[in-house]
């Protein structure tokens, strides 16, 4: 029985001895071993053995990068405005021994150092510079903290400012200033847009006026050319008509009876006028017509008796010819056409102002003179 008790005590002692001898350190951590209260060694990650009841693992230091967020701290700017700034620090323990024995609480030390450095940096800036200079503030904080924490076995990787909160009154003033600035820029942009629109409208009206003027000019030129050609064609048509009538008169060999018949046809048309209220037909209408016919025949050269066929007049081409001229030659072409038409209608007339060389070759030759005789007495039925 006593043997079993002794055996049980030995087993318990062995278990306690093994637990004091074997130490397991997790990954990314380091164990600080002390012997009789003095630093002996640093245990790496994994399975490690120490002298039981002599060596003791005092601390396990986390070697991973750590993130610490500090609460907002009041900071006074250069223009005497109090702003609340909260920061975030990313740091990593590079020397577990220094982090254990050089500083009692390195997290609190980093926090206090951050606040003092931040007050020093922001104290030399105005509120506007503080709000717009976060990168420079972060760089300044990181440089100061990295130099100060190097002997503590800590490396500061990044320092970020989470927020800068000015007083509520300053926020209201900034919002009003921002709103006024935005309104000003909106008005400026509206004015510039109106100016650009007015310029573009004026340019469009200018181009429209120019194009309208050019169109009117081209239209007037084309209308003038069309009117010129129309007058030329009209003059040539009148000349052809005069030639046709003249040729028909020559071919028909008119006498006094035909002329009297034409006058009888014209009397109703003369009486049909709106201004003719009273029309008196003379009793001796036949003698009047005979005398009038004789007088007109003598004036117009119509013979009372025609012997033999008359000579035909060459009327030229049946289609009117429009000369292709431009500029100052149009007036001369119109004159030539009119002169040709008049010469064809009245071959017995000669105009000294017309140059014979300008008269077209198809102008009809003047008809030969036929002696006129006294018209015979018309018979009365």
Residues 84-116: tens digit of each pLDDT: 998 899 999 999 999 988 888 888 888 888 888
Please state, in angstroms and rounded to a whole number, the distance separating the CA atoms of residues 7 and 28: 40
Residues 150 and 222 in one domain: no
Q: How many CA atoms lie within 13 A of 85 on its CB side?
A: 29
Q: Kindly indicate the confidence band of residue 266, based on its pLDDT and cuts at 50, 70 and 90.
A: confident
Q: Which domain holds residue 108?
A: 66-166
Q: Which residues contact 99 (CB under 8 A, 6 or more apart)?
A: 61, 93, 106, 152, 153, 154
Query: What's the length of the chain?
Result: 381
DSSP, res 151: G
Please name which of 195, 237, 375, 175 lies closest in space to residue 293, comparing C-alpha atoms.
375
Q: What are the structure tokens assigned to 76, written together?
A: 């006074």
Q: Which sign does the torsion angle of CA 4, 10, 11, 12 carry?
A: positive
Cα 11 from chain centre: 97
Q: Kindly indicate the confidence band of residue 14, based on its pLDDT and cuts at 50, 70 and 90.
A: confident
Query: Does residue 302 belong to any structural domain of this protein?
Result: yes
Q: Kindly indicate the confidence band of residue 269, based on its pLDDT and cuts at 50, 70 and 90.
A: confident
- Check if the beta carbon of residue 263 is closer than 8 Å to that of residue 297: no
Residues 350 and 232 in one domain: yes
The whole-number pLDDT of residue 341 equals: 61
Query: Does residue 78 belong to any structural domain of this protein?
Result: yes
Please state, in angstroms and rounded to a whole number, the distance separating the CA atoms of residues 233 and 334: 9
Beta-bridge partner residues of 154: 93
Strands (E), 166-208: none
Residues 346 and 224 in one domain: yes
Residues 252 and 335 in one domain: yes
DSSP, res 250: H
Residues 237 and 346 in one domain: yes
Q: Using DSSP bridges, classify how beta strands 46-49 and 22-25 pair: parallel, antiparallel or unpaired.
A: antiparallel
Q: Does residue 272 sit in helix, strand or coil?
A: coil
Q: Which residues contact 164 (CB under 8 A, 6 or more apart)?
A: 83, 84, 85, 130, 131, 134
Please state, in angstroms and rounded to a whole number, the distance separating the CA atoms of residues 259 and 269: 16
How confident is the prediction for the chain on average, in pLDDT? 77
DSSP, res 364: P
pTM, full prediction: 0.46
Query: Does residue 188 belong to any structural domain of this protein?
Result: no
179 vs 286, more confident:
179
Number of domains in the chain: 3
- Check if the beta carbon of residue 89 is closer than 8 Å to that of residue 157: no
In which element (H, E) is residue 62 found? strand 55-62
Please name which of 353, 324, 327 lies closest in space to residue 338, comparing C-alpha atoms.
353
Long-range pairs of 371-375 with CB within 8 A, sequence gap ≥ 24: 371/303, 372/297, 372/298, 372/301, 372/302, 372/303, 372/304, 373/303, 373/304, 373/305, 374/294, 374/304, 375/255, 375/256, 375/290, 375/293, 375/294, 375/297, 375/304
Query: Does residue 12 belong to any structural domain of this protein?
Result: yes
Strands (E), 170-310: none
Query: Does residue 201 belong to any structural domain of this protein?
Result: no
pLDDT tens column, 38-68? 899 999 988 888 888 888 888 889 999 999 9
Residues 250 and 332 in one domain: yes
Residues 70 and 160 in one domain: yes
User: Alpha carbon of 52 to those of 30, 32, 55, 254, 359: distances in Å?
Assistant: 19, 15, 6, 166, 147
Residues 225 and 101 in one domain: no
- How many CB atoms neighbour CB 312 within 10 A? 11
pLDDT tens column, 342-367? 666 555 554 444 444 444 444 444 44
Please state, in angstroms and rounded to a whole number, the distance separating the CA atoms of residues 85 and 162: 7
Q: Percentage of the chain with pLDDT > 70?
A: 69
Q: What is the mean pLDDT of residues 281-292?
A: 55
Residues 352 and 255 in one domain: yes
Query: Does residue 37 belong to any structural domain of this protein?
Result: yes
Q: Which residues contact 56 (CB under 8 A, 6 or more apart)?
A: 33, 34, 35, 50
Q: Which residues contact 95 (CB under 8 A, 6 or more apart)?
A: 153
């Amino acid at each position: 029985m006593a043997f079993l008790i002794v055996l049980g005590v030995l087993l318990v002692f062995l278990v306690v001895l093994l637990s004091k001898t074997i130490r397991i350190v997790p990954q990314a951590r380091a164990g600080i071993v002390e012997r009789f209260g003095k630093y002996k060694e640093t245990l790496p990650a994994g399975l490690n053995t120490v002298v039981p009841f002599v060596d003791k693992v005092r601390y396990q230091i986390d070697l991973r990068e750590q993130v610490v967020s500090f609460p907002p701290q009041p900071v006074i700017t250069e223009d005497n405005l109090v702003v609340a700034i909260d920061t975030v620090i990313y740091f990593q323990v590079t020397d577990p021994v220094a982090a254990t024995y050089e500083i009692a609480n390195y997290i609190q030390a980093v926090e206090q150092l951050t606040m003092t450095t931040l007050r020093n940096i922001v104290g030399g800036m105005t509120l506007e510079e503080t709000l717009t200079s976060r990168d420079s503030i972060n760089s300044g904080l990181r440089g100061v903290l990295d130099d100060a924490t190097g002997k503590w076995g800590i490396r500061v990787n990044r320092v970020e400012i989470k927020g800068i909160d000015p007083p509520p009154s300053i926020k209201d003033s900034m919002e009003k200033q921002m709103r006024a600035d935005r309104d000003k820029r909106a008005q400026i942009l509206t004015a510039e847009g109106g100016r650009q629109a007015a310029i573009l409208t004026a340019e469009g009206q200018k181009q429209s006026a120019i194009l309208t003027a050019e169109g009117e000019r081209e239209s007037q030129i084309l209308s003038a050319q069309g009117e010129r050609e129309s007058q030329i064609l009209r003059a040539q048509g009148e000349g052809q008509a005069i030639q046709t009538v003249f040729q028909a008169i020559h071919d028909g060999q008119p006498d006094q009876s035909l002329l009297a018949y034409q006058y009888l046809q014209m009397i109703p048309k003369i009486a049909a006028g709106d201004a003719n209220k009273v029309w008196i037909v003379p009793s001796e209408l036949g003698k009047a017509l005979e005398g009038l016919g004789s007088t007109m025949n003598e004036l117009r050269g119509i013979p009372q008796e025609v012997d033999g066929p008359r000579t035909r007049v060459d009327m030229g081409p049946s289609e009117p010819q429009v000369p292709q001229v431009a500029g100052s030659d149009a007036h001369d072409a119109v004159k030539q056409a009119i002169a040709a038409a008049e010469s064809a209608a009245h071959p017995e007339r000669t105009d000294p102002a017309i140059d014979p060389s300008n008269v077209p070759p198809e102008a009809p030759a003047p008809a030969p003179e036929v002696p006129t005789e006294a018209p015979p007495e018309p018979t009365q039925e």
